[in-house]
Amino acid sequence: MALLRVLCVHGYRQSSSSFREKTGALRKLLKKQLELVYISAPHPVIANDNSQDQEKSSSAGDEDQRGWWFSDVQACSFDARQECDSSLGLDESLEAVRVAVKDLGPFDGILGFSQGAALVAMVCALQEQELEPAFSFRFAILVAGFRSACAQHQRFYEGLEVTLPSLHVFGQEDKVIPEQMSRELLPIFPRAHILTHPGGHFIPAASAHRQIYQEFLQKFQEKVDKQGQTAIS
């Protein structure tokens, strides 16, 4: 059975290495379905950034903390609830995704966590509007995602419905990105599947969640397997 290749987009104050560590249980849970490929955001986060969106790795040795954009342009910090007219760094982050697709792809899907999931929603919007030829994902998984509160980013949401199949994962006890903030993305994704879990700000990977993940991924897996059989014959 061919594995689905998924580009993984970490949260604020994380990196490719720390996110790989945090998704170890998910990799194990879906090892027969997914190959996860990780990238790091282009922007280092300064040490004295005390933003509310704390997603720093629990690994004490992880000093490579990064972000996809900053809501406070002057302080170079980020808070998911901060309303702002403009942000800093988003264009470079979208370019990082383009480069990853070119250099590490092709990919079947894209997975994002927290600020990374918010970025994935923007990538989906660009793909839906055919504004980015490099993006051709077949599905998206958004864990603790949210709509950016930046006025500059509302172009990704207004008057748009993303037809790309998506799985949205919410933690009912998430204090960093409350469930309601994540649900505000749902009107933009009319084909959304939903996985709710009773925990907080993390990617759920208990055996109880396996079926929901697998049911969502199954149709994409079947297509990959058929393509592989055609190539062999």
List the catalytic residues: 114, 174, 201
Residues 175 and 52: their CA atoms lie apart, in Å, by 10
Residues 6 and 110: their CA atoms lie apart, in Å, by 5
Residues 36 and 11: their CA atoms lie apart, in Å, by 15
181 DSSP 8-state letter: H
* Tokens 């990977």 belong to residue: 205
List, in sequence order, every beta strand (DSSP E) within the chain.
4-9, 34-39, 43-44, 66-67, 109-113, 139-143, 166-171, 192-197
Joined tokens for residue 51: 């933003």
Distances (CA, A) of 37 to 4, 9, 50, 69: 11, 9, 29, 21
Can the peptide bond before residue 178 be classed as cis, meaning omega within 30 degrees of 0? no
